[in-house]
């Protein structure tokens, strides 16, 4: 028997075996189950491989974006805090420790209230542009940032004592005067509640003793700080150019006489 005849005999025998096998009742179901298992295994393998490739591509793209922009999670945390939903808070750590000893001067107040809101200096009376806070026992207390912002001034002033100015959005400025032991410097970013100094004395309002003079201004026009506590920056009124007061450090023109 030659080689071709042998191969043909083997093929015929294989066919005969397959026919006998297929006559078994369990043969067809077993064949279908085997094929289904092969297909399912292939599908799972392809899906897992695609997800792994997608994850690798995402990781590579993310790393590329970070390297291109030079920004990462740590740098995001270092971005100055300009929190849009912040509201003004009293510039002290504990409001129960202080009282208002000097009120904001308003043209809408009664004559009696206006007199109480005047500051006497060098034999003249000046309108109070902010409020003055002092502790009940006359001692110093921590002065904190009323809202997050950037320190644009931190210096000693001959008239107002040590002063700190913090700039916020929308040309809004918070001013802290009559300080001692200032802890911040110009260009520094402060968060709301950060302690910046302690209350001290100044020459302009020496009668107030140890106190904090606090102002809020928009476009250099002072507003009553107490009216904007628990209010956002957007609550401050728009200011006309005619309302601008000029120098933010100079006191208002002296009042020659008191009415009423």
> What are the pLDDT digits (tens) for 210-223?
999 999 999 999 99
How many domains is the chain partitioned into structurally? 2
- Is 74 inside a domain boundary? no
225 and 121, same structural domain? yes
| Dist CA 176 CA 109 (whole Å) | 24
User: For 158, phi and psi rounded to 5 degrees?
Assistant: -65, -30
Give percent of the chain with pLDDT exceeding 90. Answer: 57
Task: Give the pLDDT mean for 149-164.
Answer: 97
- Give 1's pLDDT tier (boundaries 50, 70, 90): low
Both 143 and 42 in one domain: the answer is no
Task: Give the CA dihedral 44, 47, 48, 51, nearest 10 degrees.
Answer: -170
Tens digit of pLDDT for each residue in 132-150? Answer: 999 999 999 999 999 999 9
Who contacts 104 (Cβ-Cβ below 8 Å, separation ≥6)? 117, 128, 129, 130, 131, 222, 223, 224, 225, 226
Q: Kindly state whether residue 228 falls inside one of the protein's structural domains.
A: yes
- Between 3-22 and 27-69, two packed helices, what is the crossing angle to 10 degrees? 100
Residue 89 has pLDDT above 80, yes or no: yes
For residue 192, is it within any domain? yes
The two structure tokens encoding residue 210: 């140890």
CA dihedral 228, 234, 238, 241 (to 10 degrees): 100
pLDDT of residue 72: 44
Q: What is the Cα Rg of the chain in Å?
A: 39
Of 194, 199, 211, give the one whose Cα is nearest residue 144. Answer: 194
Are 114 and 126 in contact by the 8 Å Cβ rule? The answer is: no
Tell whether 47 and 135 lie within a shared domain: no
Are residues 133 and 61 both part of a single domain? no
Q: Give this prediction's pTM.
A: 0.66
> Angle 200-201-204 (CA atoms, 0-180°, nearest 5)?
145
Residues 157, 230 share a domain: yes
Residue 91, SS3 per DSSP: coil
**Residue pair 114/161 in contact by the 8 Å Cβ criterion:** no
Answer yes or no: is 138 within a domain: yes
Please report whether residue 252 resides in a domain: no
What pLDDT, on the 0 to 100 scale, is given for residue 84? 67
Are 134 and 199 a contacting pair, CB within 8 Å? yes
220 close to 173: Cβ distance less than 8 angstroms: yes
Is 137 among the domain residues?
Answer: yes
Q: Is the pLDDT of residue 95 over 80?
A: yes
Residues 6 or more apart in contact with residue 135 via CB below 8 angstroms: 97, 98, 99, 141, 199, 210
pLDDT tens digits, one per residue of 164-184: 999 999 999 999 999 999 999
Q: Structural domain of residue 51, as residue ranges?
A: 3-68
* Residue 222 placed within a domain: yes
Asked whether the predicted pLDDT for residue 185 surpasses 70, the reply is: yes
Looking at the structure, do residues 25 and 115 belong to the same domain, yes or no? no
């Amino acid at each position: 028997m030659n080689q071709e005849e042998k191969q043909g005999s083997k093929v015929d025998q294989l066919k005969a075996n397959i026919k006998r096998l297929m006559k078994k009742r369990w043969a067809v179901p077993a064949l279908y189950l085997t094929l289904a298992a092969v297909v399912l295994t292939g599908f799972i393998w392809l899906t897992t491989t695609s997800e792994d490739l997608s994850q690798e591509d995402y990781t590579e793209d993310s790393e590329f974006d970070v390297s291109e922009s030079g920004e990462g999670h740590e740098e995001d945390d270092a971005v100055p805090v300009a929190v849009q939903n912040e509201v003004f808070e009293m510039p002290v750590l504990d409001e129960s420790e202080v009282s208002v000893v000097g009120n904001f001067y308003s043209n809408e107040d009664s004559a009696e209230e206006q007199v109480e809101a005047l500051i006497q200096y060098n034999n003249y009376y000046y309108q109070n542009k902010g409020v003055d806070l002092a502790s009940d026992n006359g001692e110093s207390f921590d002065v904190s940032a009323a809202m997050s912002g950037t320190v644009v001034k931190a210096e000693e002033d001959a008239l107002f004592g040590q002063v700190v100015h913090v700039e916020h959005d929308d040309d809004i400025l918070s001013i802290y005067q009559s300080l001692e032991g200032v802890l911040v410097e110009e260009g520094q970013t402060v968060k709301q509640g950060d302690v910046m100094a302690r209350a001290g004395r100044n020459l302009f309002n020496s009668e107030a003793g140890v106190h904090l003079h606090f102002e809020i201004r928009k476009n250099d026009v002072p507003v009553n700080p107490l009216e904007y506590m628990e209010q956002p920056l957007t609550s401050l009124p728009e200011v006309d150019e005619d309302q601008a007061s000029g120098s933010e450090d100079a006191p208002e023109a002296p009042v020659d006489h008191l009415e009423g």
